[in-house]
């Protein structure tokens, strides 16, 4: 039972990390209808900006995080303004290819500035652990869950009670009607990219904390988190969180028990299990657990 609880907690922390990445995807898709494959680049950039603020500018770590979030949000808004805004009305495939190109460009810029070496983030949590009964809980994992919970609450309050949040919901529901009522779609699109950049920074920080270090390959977490996005529904923030938790717990439990009980599946099957779960769910619910079903009239 102790092993099960230990693995479950680690899965919750991993799921919270996936949820942070997934929320960035969802907020852009919800506002613009675009699947942003550059989100992994924003995760990477956010991690390095936090490192730079803390180590180069000598800003305290807990202050370096919001500074990096603001900077990455500005980068996201600038990318939307300079590149994505010119793609409005173009085929979806073309827009997706542009976001993939942006991912590669951001990766090259980041490695050109900071190099390829792994660098310590300098977070105050390190590899410390908390004892809770017979469990040893990584402090970094606890903070990852806390950050994900705070972000989810902030998303709920923003979308439900703020004027900009209501405008984003209206634009996502019916862009033409929103524009007719005086809502600036361009402003909403820029805001969605800014929010995605800020959330990506938190994901980049938590990926690099706990002794892992900031490094170029943290961008690939966006691809690993993709089943969580699809599972929850591309346009549902709450679905992104639930999908992240399901995928994280499933992956961790599989990695913990599969070598013992199903070794014939081979090494590393835990990394494939999220996609098995995603396929199984989509066979039953093609729009994800909380995705909006598309209705077509003919």
CA separation, residue 70 to residues 88, 100, 174, 208, 216 (Å) = 25, 23, 29, 19, 21
**Among 46, 113, 108, CA closest to 75:** 46
The pLDDT of residue 106: 94
**Among 173, 151, 199, 192, CA closest to 47:** 199
Question: Is the alpha carbon torsion for 209, 211, 214, 220 positive or negative?
Answer: negative
The pLDDT of residue 294: 58
The pLDDT of residue 194: 95
Tokens (6 digits) for 34: 């675009």
Give every residue of the chain whose pLDDT is below 50, as ranges.
Answer: 295-298
Question: Is the Cβ–Cβ distance between 274 and 290 less than 8 Å?
Answer: no
CA distance 195 to 197: 5
CA distance 109 to 113: 6
Tokens 């070598």 belong to residue: 259
The pLDDT of residue 220: 82
Question: Is the Cβ–Cβ distance between 176 and 185 less than 8 Å?
Answer: no
Domain-wise residue ranges, the chain: 2-219
The pLDDT of residue 297: 47
The pLDDT of residue 62: 92
Q: Write down how long the chain is.
A: 298
Question: Is the Cβ–Cβ distance between 269 and 253 less than 8 Å?
Answer: no
Q: What is the DSSP letter of 291?
A: P
Q: 3-class SS at 236?
A: coil
What is the maximum span of the chain, computed from C-alpha positions, in angstroms? 61
CA separation, residue 36 to residues 40, 192, 220 (Å) = 9, 11, 14
Which pairs with CB-CB distance under 8 Å and at least 24 residues apart come from 236-239?
A: 236/26, 236/288, 236/289, 236/290, 236/291, 236/292, 237/23, 237/26, 237/27, 237/30, 237/152, 237/155, 237/156, 237/159, 238/152, 238/156, 238/290, 239/26, 239/288, 239/289, 239/290, 239/291
The pLDDT of residue 270: 87
Query: Is the entire prediction scored with pTM above 0.85?
Result: yes
Beta bridge partners of 137: 130
CA distance 284 to 282: 5
């Amino acid at each position: 039972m102790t092993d099960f609880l230990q693995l479950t907690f680690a899965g919750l922390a991993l799921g919270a990390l996936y949820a942070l990445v997934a929320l960035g995807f969802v907020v852009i898709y919800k506002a613009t209808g675009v699947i942003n494959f550059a989100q992994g680049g924003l995760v990477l950039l956010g991690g390095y900006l936090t490192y730079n603020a803390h180590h180069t500018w000598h800003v305290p770590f807990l202050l370096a995080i919001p500074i990096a979030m603001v900077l990455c949000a500005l980068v996201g808004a600038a990318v939307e303004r300079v590149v994505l805004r010119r793609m409005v009305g173009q085929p979806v495939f073309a827009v997706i290819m542009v976001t993939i190109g942006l991912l590669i460009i951001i990766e090259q810029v980041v490695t050109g500035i900071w190099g390829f070496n792994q660098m310590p983030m300098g977070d105050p949590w390190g590899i410390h652990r908390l004892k809770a009964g017979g469990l040893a809980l990584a402090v970094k994992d606890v903070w990852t869950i806390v950050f994900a919970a705070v972000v989810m609450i902030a998303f709920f309050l923003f979308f439900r009670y703020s004027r900009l949040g209501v405008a984003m919901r209206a634009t996502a529901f019916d862009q033409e009607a929103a524009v007719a009522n005086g809502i600036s779609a361009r402003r909403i699109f820029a805001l969605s990219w800014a929010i995605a950049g800020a959330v990506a920074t938190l994901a980049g920080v938590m990926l690099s904390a706990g002794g892992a270090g900031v490094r170029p390959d943290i961008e690939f977490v966006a691809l690993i988190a993709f089943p969580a996005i699809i599972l929850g529904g591309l346009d549902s923030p709450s679905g992104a969180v639930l999908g992240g938790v399901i995928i994280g717990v499933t992956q961790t439990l599989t990695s913990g028990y599969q070598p013992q009980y199903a070794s014939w599946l081979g090494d590393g099957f835990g990394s494939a299990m999220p996609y098995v779960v995603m396929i199984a769910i989509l066979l039953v619910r093609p729009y994800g657990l909380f995705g909006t079903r598309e209705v077509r009239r003919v």
